Amino acid sequence: MIITRYLHSKWLKVQETWSVFVNELRRIFRDPGVTVIFFLGTLAYPLLYNFIYWKDNVENVPVAVVDMSHSEESRAFLHKWNATPDVTITHYCTSMAEAEQLMRAQKIHAIIYFPTDFATCLNTGMKTAHISLYCDMSSFLYMKAAYLSCNRVMLEDMGRIQIDRYEAMGMDKQFSWILVQAAPYTETALFCESGGYASFLIPAVLMLILHQTLFFGICMLGGTAREENNELFLLPGHRRGYSVLRITLGRSAAYFLIYYALSALVLLGVPRLFGLPHIGDPIAILKFTVPYLLAIIYFSMSVSVFVRNRESGMVTLIASSLIFLFIAGVSWPQQMLPDAWRYLSYFFPYTWGVHGFLHINSMGATLETTAKEYISLWILAGGYFLTTCGLLGIMGYLHDHHRLPEHRHATANIANT
Amino acid sequence: MKQIFLNIWKVTQREISRMLIRPLYLFASIGVMGLCTFFFLSIMKRGAPERMPVAVVDKDQTSISRRLCHETNATQSVEIVLITSNYADARLAMQRGEVFGILEIPEGFYADIVSMKRPTLHFYVNNAYTVGANTAYKQLLTMCNLTSGAFQREVLRKKGLPDYLIMERIQPVAISSHLIGNPWGNYGIYLVSTILPGILAIIVLMLTIFAIGFELKMQTSREWLETAGGNFTVALIGKLLPYTLIYIVLGIGCNVILFRFLHFPVAGSSLRMMLAIVLLVFAMESMAITLIGALPTLRDAISIGALYGMLGFSLSGFTYPVMNMLPVFKAWTWLIPLRHYYKIYVNEALMNGPIENTIIPMLSLVAFSLFILLVSRRLHNALIYNNYPLK
């Protein structure tokens, strides 16, 4: 008898949670604003970003040449440089002034200058020959393309010249060859071989899109509930005496269900569809997504308690996206952040989420390797779950005692009339 | 005429009181802009990435390999945080995101190099973190080249060559690079000069949509129009006047901080930079009016506004050059005010280029106001009839 009664009471609690869950799903699908953010936002943004950064690497940056040496050596150098994918020589100028004009007008993004004594220096074998490279800094990617390719060509050329010089000194060919490359080296891009912009940025952006759409969707739902002064939405079932714990669980289960499916689609599908790095184990990614989503959901539910309007959160969407991106240490290395900002960043699910995802997806780490991020996300999820319960409990109390700010306004209005 | 100014003033007064009731307006403009300025300037304070963590796999463990580590560590840009004899450990550290590069010194490196067996150095970088990887790459590449150079110097010295002749043999060609407009290669100057105006532009867009859309949503638009004496233009000017003043002060303030206090380089005229940011504010307001006019429901306009604004950063071309984009996006960049602002910035601050490269983007920014004409009738009707969904 006692056992059945006990089971029955448990069953009622499950039923309560279930009804909150169903109610929340109904709310999401009935709100066109939220469905647009949840579904269109998560699916359209990744596609748009992939199309914007379609070419990944910056190629064929137009450059100008000022060759005062008019020598075979400079021509050979230019020939090799032009053959790299990074640059295309579009202008041959007779003076620096002319090239400068072109750079100022943004027709070219780098200038290479060979002084008159370039070939003489090389051929007399006594002096260092100088090349000057002028880079347009309006985008770092121009500079990277021009600078790195020019350096590579120079290093290659240099080896050949050095061998010639040593041979001229009377060393034998074998010896001078060894001397020049006494310690040869190999360079390997261990992860993201292309080194392109898209393969670095888009995986990070995918995690940000999930974070931001979920965050602002939940804030919009919270704002709507407040706006309609319908406390039943923030605390559905509160009037019927449902506990805050079960309300929080029921609501978050609805978000989790939708976003787990979306995340799987976006995080596994998009890198494969667009040929971005995806060397990670899909199962590990799916496991990692669980605490990430839970942490975002409870983080957002805690914040949404303070949102009083449907749309007001949206105003800060973009500024916050940029701050999240930078404070997480993706665009700008984490090591360079001032300590205060770095500690603050540990409170945001995105910081852990993006690094963990990059480690697994782009760098093939296992879940054990990225345990720090994985565990931190569980801790955040747990912490924010408690704050959500706490804040919702306070909301319920304030509502019951008519102490919410909107109640105050309502009383003031009545007093005025 | 006097009546018109009086009406504008009335609408402005109404707006100021609305603005002060809701904390959102001041928070999202002054608060967010202040926070972002502080945030970006503080994280970019050091400008160039320094002391990026790298690992060394020292399988040789001799005085030479230790000297190589020591000299690598003495450079500004990298810091050795892990020395191990096992490559797997270093790779694991990289997968954990602890290091951006690995330098592997093979076993018997010292013995091989002195017996001229050409031992091979290996270095690895992690391109999943592009800034860190680039810094580590440049430094490790230099270190590897210097290793061969140092060996050559030793051999040549032993052959009795004087040092000045040795240098010319070790480095027969040298590249001196000159970074135009940002000689330090400072990321802070590069990013902040466009990100902050970009954030201001987004704030202007979203808040203007919100300010107008909220009237529609709360069905107060008719009262707003009545305050303006039924004149649509007066209503708009009066409403946007106080915000515009705030935005202009924020914009000019931001540029004054960057170019005057922090001495970010300006090759051309900083006055024209001030004008550019004012025009950017007007262009974003025009786009906001156009969006809310085309979609006179707050929810729709603000969602589309967020989408458009977010893409603005990518499409302005300050990180990823427009030159490399697909043609459809190249065309799209013309509809992004931040793109025009960025062109002015490049021309004025970095290049001091021909004046037409400033004038044309400025005229383009002004031309955004023409979009309002397309929707003014629709928006006017929406204000009167309020015939669109409220939620």
Of residues B316, B321, B236, B229, the one with CA closest to residue B280: B316
B319: how many CB neighbours lie within 10 A of its CB? 18
> Could you tell me if A413 lies within 8 Å of chain B, comparing CB atoms?
no
Question: Which residues are registered as beta bridge partners of B179?
Answer: A135
> Considering only CB atoms, which chain B residues are within 8 Å of A147?
177
Q: Are A254 and A28 in contact (CB under 8 A)?
A: yes
Facing residue for A147 by CB, picked from B39, B177, B318: B177
Q: Are A271 and A200 in contact (CB under 8 A)?
A: no
List the domain boundaries for chain A.
Answer: 16-53+194-416, 61-180
Predicted-complex ipTM score: 0.90
Tell if the CB–CB gap between B127 and A130 is shorter than 8 Å.
no
Find the closest chain B residue to A204 by CA distance: B128
Q: Which of A138, A171, A173 to mutate to test the interface with B (most CBs of B within 10 A)?
A: A138
| A16-21: Cβ within 8 A, 24+ apart | A16/A237, A16/A242, A16/A243, A16/A246, A16/A250, A17/A246, A17/A249, A17/A250, A17/A253, A18/A250, A19/A237, A19/A250, A20/A236, A20/A237, A20/A242, A20/A246, A20/A247, A20/A249, A20/A250, A20/A251, A21/A250, A21/A251, A21/A253, A21/A254
> Considering only CB atoms, which chain B residues are within 8 Å of A133?
175-178
> Considering only CB atoms, which chain B residues are within 8 Å of A319?
32, 35-36, 199, 202-203
> Considering only CB atoms, which chain A residues are within 8 Å of B347?
104, 106
Please state at what angle helix B130-158 crosses helix B163-170, rounded to 10 degrees: 140
Q: Look up residue A323 and give its two tokens.
A: 């701050």
Q: Give the gap in angstroms from C-alpha B253 to the nearest C-alpha of chain A.
A: 18
Tell if the CB–CB gap between B95 and A359 is shorter than 8 Å.
yes
> Considering only CB atoms, which chain A residues are within 8 Å of B130?
195, 197, 200-201
Of residues B169, B147, B178, the one with CA closest to residue B56: B147
Facing residue for A133 by CB, picked from B177, B299, B357: B177
Integer Cα distance of A15 and A17 in angstroms = 5
Find the closest chain B residue to A36 by CA distance: B303
CATH of B52-170 among 1.20.1250.20, 3.30.470.10, 3.40.50.2300, 3.40.1710.10: 3.40.1710.10
Tell if the CB–CB gap between B176 and A133 is shorter than 8 Å.
yes
> Considering only CB atoms, which chain A residues are within 8 Å of B329?
51-52
Find the closest chain A residue to B135 by CA distance: A333
> Could you tell me if A277 lies within 8 Å of chain B, comparing CB atoms?
yes
Average confidence (pLDDT) per 10 residues, chain B, 391 residues: 88 90 86 93 87 94 92 92 94 93 93 90 92 91 90 88 82 87 85 93 93 90 89 92 95 93 89 94 96 89 87 89 91 94 93 91 95 92 84 64
Q: Which of A185, A186, A281 to mutate to test the interface with B (most CBs of B within 10 A)?
A: A185
- Phi and psi dihedrals of B344, rounded to 5? -65, -40
Tell if the CB–CB gap between B175 and A151 is shorter than 8 Å.
yes
> Considering only CB atoms, which chain A residues are within 8 Å of B325?
52, 54-55
Identify the three-state secondary structure at position A303: helix
Facing residue for B124 by CB, picked from A188, A333, A365: A188
Chain A 204-263, residues with CB within 8 Å of chain B CB atoms: 224
Q: Are A268 and A282 in contact (CB under 8 A)?
A: yes
Integer Cα distance of B44 and B46 in angstroms = 6
Facing residue for B320 by CB, picked from A141, A311, A331: A141
> Considering only CB atoms, which chain A residues are within 8 Å of B182?
137
Residues of chain A under the 50 pLDDT cut: 412-417
List the domain boundaries for chain B.
Answer: 2-45+184-385, 52-170
Facing residue for A183 by CB, picked from B53, B148, B306: B148
CATH number for region A61-180: 3.40.1710.10
pLDDT of residue B340: 96
Integer Cα distance of B205 and B309 in angstroms = 8
Q: Are A232 and A239 in contact (CB under 8 A)?
A: yes
Full-model pTM: 0.91
Of residues A251, A380, A373, the one with CA closest to residue A304: A251
Rg (CA), chain A: 31
Facing residue for A323 by CB, picked from B24, B36, B210: B36
Find the closest chain B residue to A151 by CA distance: B175
Q: Cβ-count burial of A368 within 10 angstroms (0-12 exposed, 13-18 middle, 19+ buried)?
A: exposed
Find the closest chain B residue to A35 by CA distance: B303
Tell if the CB–CB gap between A54 and B123 is shorter than 8 Å.
no
Facing residue for A185 by CB, picked from B24, B121, B326: B121
Tell if the CB–CB gap between B151 and A182 is shorter than 8 Å.
yes
Q: Look up residue A186 and give its two tokens.
A: 């190999």
Q: Give the gap in angstroms from C-alpha B36 to the nearest C-alpha of chain A.
A: 8
